[in-house]
Structure 1
Amino acid sequence: MPPMKPIRNRTLPGLCLWAAIGGAPLSAAPPAPLADKTLVVWATPANLTQRGGSALTLEGSGGHFDGVVFGEIAPGKWMAGSDGFNRTQRDQSLFPAEPTLPTAPVQIAIVYRGKTVGLYRDGVAAARYDIQGAERFGTDARVLMGLRHLDAGNDNRFFTGTIEDARIYGTALDAAQLAALKPNTASALQPVAWWDFEDGRADDRMKSFPTTTLYGGARVAGGKLHLDQSGAFLMATRETAPAASTGNDADQVARSLREGLLADPYRPGYHFVVPEGRAMPFDPNGAIHWKGRYHLFYIFQDKRGHNWGHVSSTDLFHWRHHPTGLVSGMFSGNCFVNQEGRPTMCYHQVGQGNAMAVALDDELNEWKKLDSNPITPKTSPGDPLHGKYRSWDPFGWVEDGNYYAIFGGEHPAVAKAPTLGGEWKYTGDLMANSVPGVSIAEDVSCADFFRIGDRRMLLCISHRLGCRYYLGDWKNEQFHPTFHEKMSWADNLFFAPESLLDDRGRRIMWAWIFDEPGFRMRTEHGWSGTMSLPRVLSLPADGRLRMNPPPEIESLRYNPAKRRGLTVAADATLPVPGIAGTSLEVDLSIAAPDARQYGITVCTSPNGEEQTRIYYDAADRKLKVDTTRSSSGASPKGIEAGPLELAAGEPLQLRVFVDKSVVEVFANGRQAVVRRIYPIRPDSVGVTLFSNGGTARVETLEAWEMMPSNPY
């Protein structure tokens, strides 16, 4: 394929489902995005007591999905399942229930037409209701049968039974059209995707989803997909097996991929990015400093499901890729050293629950998942802890001769065992108490728990609140938090933290930076997955968290520039000539005792039409990054604001890192803010200073161009 050309304007917000069918280039003009659609399946449930599994799900980026779900809200009733019930009718009192266990397949169809959803059983309307709007599904969509969606909780998420036929139509069918459909028979209207399971095949006859994989004992026999047990499901993706090619062909494909990524004006150069493809999610995981190297794992997806990519570095910026040794259902988790001195992963195994794996070599390329997995404690009805906790997003560690694991979710727990293999038992709730403004049952996912200073820190996310942390104490096998603060405020753009302790005693963290708020991916660029800069966390005697980039980043600097003694008049701007670019570090100290707002703009066009403003708001006592004018095109716009109170006479000390589409700012070692920007003007590269309401004095301003450390 020819190298991609730089594009600085955004295309359609969601590519249509057909954009890549039959090898059509993504640059070709696509038809309308897939919003109106019909999901139709002929299914026979194995029992009427099962809850929450899906006979057919269409899932896109960020966990967004629509599905034909059985019994999730009301037992024995089919429903339109969706992420967060966003397109689901919660009141199902008028929905028909299956009166008896069907002995033959029943046709269930979910029809999405504009802002309405219709549920049909054997071509007869069973329910109709309004929604705010349909979800769009693009080229990153996947299809599931059996599993409601990939990130569903560990309980009540699998459909058991048989499926004779499943289809997705790119339009909203009516009752007559649905009634005319027959399983295993082609329809007058061609579907986007179709599985008929004839001749032992599990593949999509329309080839929209060319790779189909069966998991957990799912099987095709007698013209049906058999989902005989919980954990069995089918997943179909757009990934295709590489065609046989000569060495020269393979070289050209690799070269074209690399050159296309290098030509993308929004792909960061020194923030670690996914080496190829789209990763959703792209959580950093399993970070550990081992045998002189920093090892970082990250989630990516292919036909095997969720896997952990692996890189290592000696300087935190130049990363060496490793073979992928942890595959098939790997979700969030951490790495710790077990009592035998071996690196050990505590992670969530999709379809199984929380689990452990032990490294077999010092390169951390080969791992052994424990035969005793999962580590989920066994409880039974009557046990006061039965059904109370989720087996989700764990964090494992060793303390006082015992193994501990946090079980994340809306009501986090602690489990304990004398050995890795168990027996694992719950000790109870993780949280001993709440803190002001945060519920004791708040979602704790992507947990990271460690000593810092003389306290313990619980670094985590809430899917509602984003990245955040608690400070407190670990006593009597519970966490007693005394302080809570967020690390993302306007939205959840800064997400899924992970940290390690290095051989110098430094606590270093990363986080996943979304392309756009709300888990949105920019799929039209062919890649997605960006990490934050590594942050060194510390907690001095004053009890206030410090966060700074590591000194190793200074090795990327070149072409230094320095300015001294700059004065910015009240309500004025001051360009800084000779300092410009989209790969920069700018450090400055600015004092403005009478100003309301003062700071710097980066990625600024000559007339100021495009600019990203970074400043201190003295009235709000916050560090702010304003992206409302970052792009004159259609890109996310808003103001991110993190608490920062400067003492009387204390200057604002900024370290601003610009890396193509990422702006990451550190202020006075006490606050950090991250934003994504997508300017469309090629001359949006300037730097200016500004002050509102008073004069500002910049004692020093230093800047460097930054050498990319990613290979491409």
Structure 2
Amino acid sequence: MNESTEAARVHEQAKREQVFQRMFAADPHRPRYHFLPPSAWMNDPNGLIYWKGHTHLFYQYVPNDPPWETKHWGHAVSTDLVHWLDLPVALAPTPGGPDQDGCFSGCIVNHDGAPTLIYTGVQGDQQLPCLATSPDDLITWQKYRANPVIAAPPQELDLLAFRDHTVWKEGTTWYQLIGAGIRGVGGTALLYRSPNLVDWEYMHPLYTGDRNRSEPVWTGSMWECPDFFHLGDKSVLMVSVYDDSRFREEAYDGCLHYAVAFVGAYTDHTFTPWTQSIIDYGGHFYAPQTMLAPSGRRLLWGWLWEGRGDEAQWAAGWAGVMSLPRVLSLSADNMVSLEPAPELKQLRGTHQRVMDLPILPTSLMQLGEVQGDCLEIQAELVPDEATELGIGVRCAPDGTEQTLIRYDRLQGRLLIDRQRSSLSEEVYPSRTDSLGVGLFARGGSARVKALDAWEMGSIKVGG
């Protein structure tokens, strides 16, 4: 590409971004405190790493106009886990190369001081592990000239798929898990080892699920985005469930279901799970990845997919956001627990408090002083005689639009009721005055012990 052609391309891209920024400034639905790229499509978090005082977040990104198909690696950086600065695209497909049709998900490790990226390169029907290294602290990347570093999946296994990577080191040996599915059996994570990140030897499946078993959690026919790490003195295998044969209304594109965590023991390169659970029951969370912070905390991000249809996403010019950073821990019964990273408190702005307020079993009682479309709410509610109670958000003054967060005391369940979230066919409120916050009780009276609400600021550096 000559200099004049490249200059013209950069100019057109700058004009395009200006158009998008004007659109987004007027878009009431574009998130303020969840990370998302400058424009267009994003999905899985990739390559989470702390490097020289900065947390780097890479992610699946399609910077082009829709339909959003050919995946790149986007890149952002933060000094506090909260405010993010966009950086240039880290990886793009190479025409004629083993990743010509996409640079799929993977991870980044520190290889003797050299940032090294392992990702799935897509070329036609082939999806194989590729390598890249950075000479300038993760800003630009040089692809390994002999990619892919694994020429083919294990021939002895009848696999449905073979993609996505997590890598760690034990002593002087590197280990890698690759997501896969064994036909007719279930999802699996395939274990490899290498002395140098280039020459890989297949060992065995670290663990394989049963696609026909529904309890305690159904784990489907193929696993994407494996992650494997220690949490305390236990080991955790985290996977995302892919299955295009079992219908589930909440599944994205009919095949992406949810993320599952297995907690157990890892000995002699064998993993024995004791518990398994769904990471997030919100119905829009997938492909989580974790990183170990300098403080020793295990932090997690995941992709939150869109509830809107393709045409609405394309018209808006963006789709998908990253979850808030969460801190992982283990409960007493060896289940993975999550809570928002405390650094997010930096975003708190204007504060409202409600104390000692009765909630009568009538219609939704709106709190006139608490309003907004970008809030953090902490509430302590006491059921008293109520069988159900909760909070309404994004409520229209007449209640025609509202989203209810309901606690069913008899069943011990917390639910989100989206039946009246929008008057339109899309998932977001259509009324500009759907900003209210309210309280409700059913089956008897309840009360608010304390409710705090903060207006949240922007996570974009300078935003």
TM-score range, shorter chain: 0.7 to 0.9
Count of residues paired in the alignment: 421
Structure 1: state its 5+ residue gaps.
1-240, 636-676
Q: What is the CA distance between 1:570 and its match in structure 2?
A: 3.1
Counterpart of 2:20 in structure 1 is: 257
> Percent identity between the aligned chains?
34
- 2:186 matched to 1:407? no
- 2:119 matched to 1:347? yes
* 1:528-677 aligned within 5 A: 528-635=319-426, 677=427
- 2:266 matched to 1:474? yes
Would the alpha carbon gap of residues 530 and 594 (structure 1) be closer, same or farther in structure 2, given more than 3 Å must change? same
Equivalent position SS for 1:708:
coil
* 1:233-632 aligned within 5 A: 244=8, 254-279=17-42, 282-302=43-63, 305-328=70-93, 329-338=102-111, 340-351=112-123, 353-362=128-137, 364-376=138-150, 385=156, 387-388=158-159, 390-411=161-182, 412=188, 413-422=190-199, 424-431=200-207, 436-438=215-217, 442-464=221-243, 465-489=257-281, 491=283, 493-516=284-307, 522-632=313-423
User: Counterparts of 1:562 and 1:623 in 2: how far apart (Å)?
Assistant: 23
Equivalent position SS for 2:345:
helix
AA paired with 1:473?
A
Which string of whole-angstrom CA distances, capped at 9 and with x for unpartnered residues, describes residues 412-465 of structure 1?
21111222121x221111216768445787421011111112211122211243
Equivalent position SS for 1:594:
coil
Q: What is the CA distance between 1:337 and its match in structure 2?
A: 2.3
User: Counterparts of 1:245 and 1:425 in 2: how far apart (Å)?
Assistant: 43
Q: What is the CA distance between 1:529 and its match in structure 2?
A: 2.7
Higher-Rg structure is 1
User: Counterparts of 1:558 and 1:326 in 2: how far apart (Å)?
Assistant: 36
Q: Is the 8 A contact 1:514 1:520 kept in 2?
A: no
* 1:211-230 aligned within 5 A: none
- 2:445 matched to 1:695? yes
Q: What is the CA distance between 1:250 and its match in structure 2?
A: 8.2
- 2:431 matched to 1:681? yes
Q: Is the 8 A contact 2:159 2:181 kept in 1?
A: no
Q: What is the CA distance between 1:318 and its match in structure 2?
A: 1.3
User: Counterparts of 2:268 and 2:309 in 1: how far apart (Å)?
Assistant: 38
Q: What is the CA distance between 1:602 and its match in structure 2?
A: 0.5
Would the alpha carbon gap of residues 613 and 457 (structure 1) be closer, same or farther in structure 2, given more than 3 Å must change? same
AA paired with 2:114?
R
Q: What is the CA distance between 1:611 and its match in structure 2?
A: 0.3
Q: What is the CA distance between 1:488 and its match in structure 2?
A: 4.4
* 1:69-80 aligned within 5 A: none
Q: TM-score, normalised by structure 2?
A: 0.83
AA paired with 1:415?
Y
Would the alpha carbon gap of residues 400 and 442 (structure 1) be closer, same or farther in structure 2, given more than 3 Å must change? farther
User: Counterparts of 2:145 and 2:130 in 1: how far apart (Å)?
Assistant: 10
Higher relative contact order (CA 8 A, sep 6+): 2
Q: Is the 8 A contact 1:595 1:695 kept in 2?
A: yes
User: Counterparts of 2:339 and 2:47 in 1: how far apart (Å)?
Assistant: 22
Over aligned residues, Cα RMSD in angstroms? 2.9
User: Counterparts of 1:440 and 1:462 in 2: how far apart (Å)?
Assistant: 6
AA paired with 2:88?
P
Equivalent position SS for 2:28:
coil
Q: Is the 8 A contact 1:571 1:694 kept in 2?
A: no
User: Counterparts of 1:391 and 1:682 in 2: how far apart (Å)?
Assistant: 46
Q: Is the 8 A contact 1:345 1:356 kept in 2?
A: yes
User: Counterparts of 1:306 and 1:332 in 2: how far apart (Å)?
Assistant: 9
Q: Is the 8 A contact 2:423 2:430 kept in 1?
A: yes
Q: What is the CA distance between 1:323 and its match in structure 2?
A: 2.0
Would the alpha carbon gap of residues 272 and 490 (structure 1) be closer, same or farther in structure 2, given more than 3 Å must change? closer
More strand by share: 2
* 1:140-179 aligned within 5 A: none
AA paired with 1:276?
S
Counterpart of 1:51 in structure 2 is: none
Structure 2: state its 5+ residue gaps.
94-101, 183-187, 244-256
